[in-house]
Amino acid sequence: MMTIDKIFSLRRKLFLSCISLALFNSSCSKFEEYNTNQHDATELIMTYDDLKTGAFFAQMQKNVVLFKDGSGEGSNQTSDYQVAQGLTSDLYSGYIAPTGTWYGGVHNGSYNFITGWIEKTFTSGFVGVMPAWQEIVKIAREQQRPQVAALATVVKVEAMHRVADAYGPIPYVNFGTGTLRNNYDGLEEVYTKFFAELDESIDVLTNYVQGNPGATILPKYDVVYAGDATKWVKFANSLRLRLAMRIAYANPSLAKIEAEKSINNPIGVITSTNDRTSLKHSIDLVYYHPLFEISTTFNAGEARMSASMDAYMNGYNDPRLAAYFTKATGDGGYHGVRLGITSSVWTRYVDPTRISGLNMNQSSTEIVWMTAAESYFLRSEGALRGWSMGGTAQELYERGISTSFEENGVAGAATYIANATNTPRAFTDNADGSSFNATQPSTITVAWNPAASTELNLERIITQKWIAMYPDGPEGWAEFRRTGYPKLIPVVTNSSNGTINTATQVRRIPFPQSEYNNNRAGVQVGVSKLGGQDNGGTKLWWDKK
């Protein structure tokens, strides 16, 4: 393995080689079309075609969440997603249970971290995102196009906050300055930088939209919004709101300031299902959601419905169950699997007659960075805290639920919202008799209760937010760590040798072994800023509750 410096240098050369070839080919076809000198490409033409920045921007978008590009381009594979997210945050969020036969169950799922499974989240950001962002910023400055640099920076923050929220300190603040690129920054420093970058980028993009109504940015290369600058501002504001809420216990005054900036922005946050942030399927981007492949084509299936999703969604009789999971054909019910099972009889846990699979459509399920529902739940929590969020906590909470139903094409939101009776159910293991049953995780109901305590209504908000964000593991896990909600069913077997508390569950993943091998001084700085041992039981800076 290589240090970040070496990886960056090699990746930059590869990017520049690829883009040079693309520029040459594209330039030739353009100049033949216009009957001009094919060896005389002007900077103006390069700007119009976005040729210098477009490929880098597409590369950034494709590395926020890793997936296999169905066109055969790129080096990412579904197995990269699996080790970057599927076997870490997707598990610890309470969304997915691993049902592969690896190591007899003694692996990440039972809190025994496998070295090769905790590398990819780190390298995906520092190999796939950061070098491309640096090139875009450099070119955008040369071309005097600050809106392009601002857009790339928003995507960078979306990608890198996932990395920071997994590990804690990372080498981020001085990346791209030519100094101390391998020096780790504390998570508080990283978040301060996130907010500074988002504040500046949102201001630039807002001014650009206001001065250029209907304008697009990098439309040929944008697989999220097709260059729609207005939608990008809404996402950037919503992302700032997400990160503001993330630090609500660590720095409540800054959290309030940053959150209200997003609400007060003239373009605002995501409010419509049409504005949700996702990778769109098209002739230019052919892909399968990686969880589709992991749950259907990897061996007999290496991911299934979790016990926590089983307990909450069955308990609430949630109409979204059919949109999220497949029925067990044996009894027509929805049945999950507990984390940390060390059974050797894995065939029972992939058996479709006993256990529910993931309902992923091969050609239409999108990789989602932010749902429209999440935006409402963020605002609801802010209102609960007394912040100015453009509505009451109850109004925004109920809009969050109804928007989630709309996003999933499910009816019955009004009845669900009004249900003041149903609660999560006790979990029953449908594959192995009563071996891995679990008690009812919570007694929280769906219907808003104005007379309830702030804490109980916070549990309502986060529980429904968690259901609505499925299957976004990084966000589900981060919100569980930040708030303690939803109350997830604990691991069956804890193989961490005492470093992780079974009740509080995993708080982070350790730094990659490659950093210890090749950047020991840098990672030791990171550990010193972590505030504890480099293991899965140490809380991150924002994890203060």
3-state helix/strand/coil string of 303-334: EEEEHHHHHHHHHCCCCCHHHHECCCCCCCCC
- Domain-wise residue ranges, the chain: 290-483
pLDDT at residue 47, as a whole number: 54
Q: Is the CA virtual torsion 48, 53, 59, 60 positive or negative?
A: negative
CA dihedral 204→210→214→218, nearest 10 degrees, is -10
Closest CA to 187 of 526, 499, 532, 514: 526
**What's the pTM?**
0.91
The tens place of each residue's pLDDT in the chain, 545 residues long, gives: 444 444 444 444 444 444 433 433 333 333 233 333 343 444 554 455 688 899 999 999 999 999 987 544 445 688 999 999 999 999 999 999 999 989 989 999 999 999 999 999 999 899 999 999 999 999 999 999 999 999 999 999 999 999 999 999 999 999 877 655 568 999 999 999 999 999 999 999 999 999 999 989 999 999 999 999 999 999 999 999 999 999 999 999 999 999 999 999 999 999 999 999 999 999 889 898 999 999 998 988 999 999 999 999 999 999 999 999 999 999 999 999 999 998 767 889 999 999 999 999 888 999 999 999 999 999 999 999 999 999 999 999 999 999 999 999 999 999 999 999 999 999 999 998 778 999 999 999 999 999 999 999 999 999 999 999 999 999 999 999 999 999 999 999 999 999 999 999 999 999 999 999 988 999 999 999 999 999 999 999 999 99
Query: How far is it, in rounded angstroms, from Cα 13 to Cα 427?
Result: 52
pLDDT at residue 70, as a whole number: 56
pLDDT at residue 284, as a whole number: 86
pLDDT at residue 34, as a whole number: 30
pLDDT at residue 475, as a whole number: 98
Query: How far is it, in rounded angstroms, from Cα 111 to Cα 469?
Result: 24
Closest CA to 510 of 108, 41, 81: 108
Closest CA to 305 of 343, 332, 334, 344: 334
Query: How far is it, in rounded angstroms, from Cα 176 to Cα 184?
Result: 14
CATH 1.25.40.390 for domain 290-483: yes
Preceding omega of 486 cis (within 30 degrees of 0)? yes
